[in-house]
């Protein structure tokens, strides 16, 4: 099966320079805020989510993916109007699942990434919707068209971002 881990490359644990591990999340948050400020349509893109997915599927460490997702999500909450924890919970789940899938699935494949990114985008939107709508009782409309466009846009940009980040990683 094409998606199952069967090659040596899939069981390798890629490593990244520390500065890159620190810089990329903050850069994603800053760019997200900065670009959305000048281009309102950019809010379809969720750069912190793409970074979480990428580090999750390439790191293949569920605990690390969970904590990484929680950290970047809480930081994203801090710069939005959400209470701290909404994006944190969503990205924790995404980081955990991405890392879990990275163990079992060939996440180096272009098609795999093309499927995973929309899936995780929709998953995070669903988690945020549940939290906002059921827990915080804030108005939060679920629009399928909007979510579909968001998933597609993130998938396109994610593929390019993942390819760029692939070039920065070190292989043992």
Nearest distance, CB of residue 159 and another protein, angstroms: 27
As a whole number of angstroms, the distance between CA 12 and CA 123 comes to 27
> Nearer to another protein by C-beta: 68 or 162?
68
Enumerate binding residues for another protein (CB under 8 A): 62-63, 66-67, 70, 74, 83-86, 88-89, 92-93, 96, 100, 131, 135-137
Nearest distance, CB of residue 34 and another protein, angstroms: 26
Nearest distance, CB of residue 111 and another protein, angstroms: 26
3-state secondary structure the chain: CCCECCCHHHHCCCECCHHHHHHHHHHHHHHHHHHHHHCHHHHHCCHHHHHHHHHHHHHCCHHHHHHHHHHHHHHHHHCCCCCCCHHHHHHHHHHHHHHHHHHHECCCCHHHHHHHHHHHHHHHHHHHHHHHHHHCCCCCCCCHHHHHHHHHHHHHHHHHHHHHHHCCCECC
Nearest distance, CB of residue 145 and another protein, angstroms: 29
Nearest distance, CB of residue 53 and another protein, angstroms: 16
């Amino acid at each position: 099966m094409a998606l199952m881990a069967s090659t040596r490359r899939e069981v390798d644990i890629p490593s990244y320079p520390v500065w890159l591990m620190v810089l990329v999340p903050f850069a994603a948050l800053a760019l997200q805020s900065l670009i959305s400020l000048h281009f309102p349509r950019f809010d379809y893109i969720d750069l912190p989510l793409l970074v979480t997915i990428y580090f999750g599927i390439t790191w293949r460490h569920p605990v690390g993916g969970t904590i990484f997702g929680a950290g970047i999500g809480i930081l994203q909450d801090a710069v939005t109007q959400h209470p701290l924890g909404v994006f944190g919970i969503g990205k924790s789940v995404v980081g955990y699942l991405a890392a879990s899938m990275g163990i079992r699935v060939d996440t180096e494949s272009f098609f795999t990434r093309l499927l995973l990114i929309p899936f995780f985008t929709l998953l995070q939107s669903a988690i945020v919707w549940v939290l906002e709508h059921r827990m915080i009782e804030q108005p939060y409309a679920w629009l399928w068209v909007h979510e579909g466009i968001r998933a597609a846009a993130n998938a396109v940009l994610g593929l390019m971002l993942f390819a760029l980040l692939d070039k920065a990683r070190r292989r043992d």
